[in-house]
Chains A and B, each alone.
Chain A
Amino acid sequence: MKPAFSVLFLTTLIGMGQGLLIALVAGQFYFVIGTGNEQDSGLFYATGSAAGLALLGLGLIASFFHLTHPERGMRSIVRWRTSWLSREVILLPACMGLAFLYGAAHWFGFAPVLITFGNQKSLDLTMAIGFLLAASCAMLFIATGMIYACVRFVKEWATPMTVINYTLMGLSSGFAAAAIVAAVENALLRDFLAGWAALFTLLAFAAKGVTLWRNKHLPAPFSLKSAIGVHHGSIRQLSQGFNCRSFNTTEFFTRISPEVKPWLIGLMLVFGFAAPSALLLAGWADRYLPALIAALPIQYVGLLTERWLFFASGQHVQNVYYQRKS
């Protein structure tokens, strides 16, 4: 498949944004269920939410570059019953709205207690919005992953690993971003966030490894026999019917030379996972700030490479019909 840059930015940016917002909510919850005496400032949560909102917004803008008729974008919510793309279009603004409310409630310190439980713990408004926010961010991870995982004609994508990878990479980069916000704001959550960021990065590393292994052992993506219904052991294409390009020869093919591909995979694994997890661990254990801050931009380069490879190595079934010009 052909990677579109708008989609590379869309998926990596919103993934990071969702991870960041989930990290904030997780951090707040960590304090709430703890001793209850410590809590970070409203300013920290508001800054974090603003950062998350900005990332989601940038993703949304990137997505508009993918459409030829963005002015009709509102129409894309109508098939929410059947289309994961439609669900993503609904969930993304929902996450943005909740992130705004979450940040605003923290900023203004507007946290009336909603319910008090038997153990003297209570649920206040910010935490309640936080739960909704985290839930919609989690659903958005599923929707984004399922957009690709449900395309059954690209075998490399049609696996639950696609959803798992999107989620873990989002959580990993999002927690890393949250750790930076915490470090800048001098928040108590810094170590909590950096530690989980390192853990998620390692988990994402493992999941990516499993996926690479799986995709190496896929059966042949198509057969000419069933494509043209001729039961012969040896069939080849003589002509695809035209000599130049068509939508079907551009949208579905990316040629990566076999010499370059291992380098790209190496770049993805080192920049996307190995280096950032080492840096995050250094930032977590030694409280070494430059390492903590450097992890994210390095990882982002790796994640863009990952996303590019994800598209480029997807082999669509339709390619069976476009093997040879003449």
Chain B
Amino acid sequence: MSRKQLALVIDLNICVGCHACVTSCKEWNTSGWAGPMSDTDPYGADPLGVFFNRVQTFEAGEFPLTETIHFPKSCLHCEDPPCVPVCPTGASFKREEDGIVLVDYDKCIGCKYCSWNCPYGVREFDTKQGVMKKCTLCADRIYDETLPEDRRKPACVLACPAGARMFGDISDPASEASQAIRDNAGFQIMPEMGTRPANHYLPRRKTKMVIHDDELMRADNPLLKEGELPRPQLSEPFLDDITSW
């Protein structure tokens, strides 16, 4: 774990499913130099468009004991990405310097074979440009020195109003992302697929507070009376070996 690996850490305990990351991702990436994320029939009956990030919603349990889980999903920038070696043109690649998995739109022939080799369903084909697209971790803004330093983060991370998304180098144990994974039992999805996803999720945590009766009622007040206690006799046991009152 020495090579740099940028990734997102998404806290499922915080995500409220507002889709702000979805819209800001689309806005940023459709306006960038890589060309639009095409939509067909966007306001019609059968719209079809490219998104890098989607928020899905799941429910666990049986009514009334149910729990709603909002689940944002984008390319996980796997450390062992099965989508990369299968690409015949080399258009799909994993960047050495920061571990981001990218598609070179100028090389892609549109065979879609990479998407078959991703178990997470996060690559989306742009039918207008005829190339495969996916999350770039905002490769075009995280290094942009014209932006103030605290803005050099993926658009989704900046947009999240609840602060459910973190971004950082998970191979650096001191990074905020690594610490969050360590301290909050961060996990990978579908670990059995052997893809070693870089993006991690933080589990839902039950924030219950246990209040015992004696915390509401004073246990050291047997007479249940408030106010000054009766003055002890000199012969009674005392508190500090010096005085009984």
Contacts and interface: CB of A to CB of B under 8 A. Distances in A.
Contacts of A70: 109
A220 to B, nearest CB: 13
Given A73-B109, A152-B82, A230 B89 contact: no
B193 interface: yes
A229 B47 contact: no
Contact of B58 (A1, A66, A226, A237): A237
Contact of B89 (A75, A246, A321): A75
B216 to A, nearest CB: 33
A206 interface: no
Chain A binding surface SS class: mixed
B111 A241 contact: no
A154 B86 CA distance: 15
Residues of B in contact with A, size category: 35 or more
B107 interface: yes
Contact of B203 (A229, A240, A322): A229
B18 interface: no
A245 B113 CA distance: 20
Contacts, number: 162
Residues of A in contact with B, size category: 35 or more
Interface string A242-272: 1011111011100000000000000000000
Contacts of A75: 88-91, 107, 109
A234 B57 contact: no
B117 A78 contact: no
Given A79-B88, A82-B86, A226-B189, A322 B109 contact: no
B162 interface: no
Chain B binding surface SS class: loop
Interface in B210-238: none
Contacts of A67: 109-111
B148 interface: no
A247 B115 contact: yes
B163 interface: no
B118 to A, nearest CB: 7
A316 B190 CA distance: 14
B62 A234 contact: yes
B57 to A, nearest CB: 4
Contact of B60 (A235, A242, A316): A235
A33 interface: no
A154 B60 contact: no
B61 interface: yes
Given A86-B88, A151-B117, A244 B48 contact: yes
Given A230-B204, A251-B115, 9 more contacts: A68-B110, A75-B89, A79-B88, A79-B89, A85-B88, A234-B62, A235-B69, A241-B57, A250-B48
Interface of A: 1, 66-70, 72-73, 75-79, 82-86, 89, 147, 150-154, 224, 226-230, 232, 234-242, 244-248, 250-252, 316-319, 321-322
